[in-house]
Structure 1
Amino acid sequence: MPANLVTDDEREQIRDLHAQGLGRNEIARAIGRGTRTVSVQASKMGLVFDNAEMTDAATRVRKAQLAARRMDLAEALQEDAERLTEQMWEPAFVFNFGGKDNTFEKRPVDEPPADAKKSLMSAAGMAIDRSLKLVPSEETAAEDEAKSMLGQLMVGLKVAYDQAKQEEAGEEAGSERTP
């Protein structure tokens, strides 16, 4: 008997591993055979590898991973905003570069000047906005859901109103013909 023929024991392993939900590649690794061999044997036994189910599971996992990363990024942006707002009240340096001698000067101040505070506040606001877009607050999500529901209700009411008007117009046209 040639050494490369699949044994009954290997076929049984393929059947058992398939029943456990393992994919073709995992089964091939487990029994030390090529994926083509596993596919051919599985086909002979009427076993099918459901790629759609595995793809759905992988998609769900990937979405969860991305949601976690968005949460991490939102937290980092929130921390950036907090650091920026703290800087508005901390000692700072003001710089001046130029003049006829092209000199550089700096001096300490108790807190940044107004234009620097405005820039810090603007940067903090952008960080907060980006954070909220990545992970909206529960109130915002609830508001969006309510707006969507109200919008759908308005569309439904408009359709019902239009139908009632058409029926009313049809009844009036029918009553005008009757002597």
Structure 2
Amino acid sequence: MAARRPITDDDRRRVAELHAQGLSRNAIAKEIKRSQATVSKLAAELGLSFRRERTAEATRAKVLDAKARRAALALDLLGDAERLRRQLWEPCTLVKIGGKDNVATEHPLPRPLFDDQLRIVQATGLAVERHARLVELDADTGHDNARSLLGALLGGLQAKHGTDPE
């Protein structure tokens, strides 16, 4: 078993400093290369706490950031689908390489070959499906509001009638 490093005044100072910056216990532990238990011990010694409210607030912010990123990605996917769809009927150039000298020859076409059109349609469909999935993922279904309303109603009824749900 490796010998434990003694806790130093520098460790205490860094914990206080990083805590003041709003870092979590885990982030501080990683930063100062100490265990989470050591950071908790130092924080308690310094009269610092890692309140759950701050963690919950940070989590809500990350959830909102992720939702915004998914919305931007969904728009990009829809744009990709539109660009792919337009290629179905656009003129294109078929390039063939062959002969003993591997010479490239170009053949203008009024639209892509059938196999290429099929792949374009498949890619377009995939982009549209992914767009729809991202939009559905972040859709406000109203379930949270209904749950909150029912919880408030139940709490009011219990308060009025003096009943306890347990």
What TM-score comes out, normalization by structure 2 length?
Answer: 0.53
Give a deviation string over 1:82-119, Cα, whole Å, max 9, x none. Answer: 00000111111112122455332111112112111111
- CA change 1:63–1:133 in 2 (3 A) is same
Q: Which residue of 1 aligns with 2:110?
A: 110
Q: Which residue of 2 aligns with 1:85?
A: 85
Q: Output the amino acid matched with 1:97.
A: I
Superposed displacement of residue 128, structure 1: 1.1
- CA change 1:136–1:123 in 2 (3 A) is same
Give a deviation string over 1:37-85, Cα, whole Å, max 9, x none. Answer: 9x74xx4xxxx74520000000000000001101111111110010000
Whole-angstrom CA distance in 1 between matches of 2:94 and 2:75: 31
Q: Which residue of 1 aligns with 2:97?
A: 97
Give a deviation string over 1:116-161, Cα, whole Å, max 9, x none. Answer: 11111111111111112222289x986xx8xxxxxxxxxxxxxxxx
Q: Output the amino acid matched with 1:56.
A: A
Q: Which residue of 2 aligns with 1:15?
A: none
Structure with higher helix content:
1
- Larger Rg over CA atoms: 1
Q: Helix, strand or coil for the counterpart of 1:89?
A: coil
Whole-angstrom CA distance in 2 between matches of 1:104 and 1:130: 37
Q: Output the amino acid matched with 2:51.
A: N
Matched, 1:128 2:123: no
Q: Give 5+ residue unaligned stretches, structure 1.
A: 1-22, 28-35, 146-179
- CA change 1:26–1:137 in 2 (3 A) is closer
Whole-angstrom CA distance in 1 between matches of 2:106 and 2:95: 4
Q: How does 1:1-179 map to 2 (within 5 A)?
A: 25=20, 40=46, 43=47, 49=49, 51-136=51-136
Q: Helix, strand or coil for the counterpart of 2:104?
A: strand
What TM-score comes out, normalization by structure 1 length?
Answer: 0.49
Write out the 4+ residue segments of structure 1 that deviate beyond 4 Å after TM superposition: none
